[in-house]
Amino acid sequence: MGNCLKGSAADDISLLRGSESAGDSVSDHLGLPPPYREAVPVYYPSPNISRPVNQLTEEEQVKIAKRMGLIQHLPTGSYDGCKKNRECVICMVEFLVGDNVRYLPCMHIYHVNCIDDWLMRSFTCPSCMEPVDAALLTSYEAS
């Protein structure tokens, strides 16, 4: 089976970070990554377990790849000024109209960047702790 996580670092980063990959490869050439960014992408096969991409077992790689796929199935939108959800409880910053937000099946919303970072560690809603995969399945069955 193809290995979608190992291999060239630039490719891994492009999967996860999009356009930032260019910046990372530049820092790779210089050999001096900025202190706040890991030179090798780090993944979280389970909460509290962080591992550089090149040390993941095959099982963990499959789990992470599936996770990334599931996250992409969660709807996103731009914040419409809805009064019920005023702030992203992860970064504690108030939503601005037009902010990129992601909707979890439990209808809690977060900034896309904030929630994606968390979901890669733990596939639960930070507010109600509902497991996202179970809820996703239920919502598919219902519709």
Q: Which helix (H) or strand (E) holds 19?
A: none
| Residue 132, beta-bridge partner list | none
- Alpha-carbon dihedral angle through residues 113, 118, 119, 122, given to the nearest 10 degrees: 180
Nearer to another protein, 61 or 124 (CB): 124
Binding string, residues 23-52; x marks residues near another protein by CB under 8 A:
-------------x----------xx----
Q: Is 63 exposed, middle or buried (0-12, 13-18, 19+ CB in 10 A)?
A: middle
Which positions from 72 through 101 interact with another protein, judged by CB under 8 A?
Answer: 89-92
Nearer to another protein, 62 or 120 (CB): 120
Considering beta carbons, is residue 11 or 38 the nearer one to another protein? 38
Instruction: Give the start-end residues of each E strand in the chain.
Output: 42-46, 49-52, 76-78, 87-88, 93-94, 100-103, 109-111
Residue 118: its H or E element: helix 112-119
Q: How far is the CB of 117 from another protein (least distance, A)?
A: 6
Q: Which stretch, 15-23, 24-32, 60-68, 124-132, contacts another protein (CB under 8 A)?
A: 124-132
Which of 64, 101, 124, 132 contacts another protein by CB under 8 A? 124
* Rg for the chain, CA atoms, rounded: 17
- Residues touching another protein: how many (CB under 8 A)? 15
Coil, strand or helix at 105: coil
**Residue with Cβ nearer another protein (4 or 71):** 71
Name the site residues for another protein (rule: CB under 8 A).
36, 47-48, 89-92, 114, 117-118, 121, 124, 126-127, 129
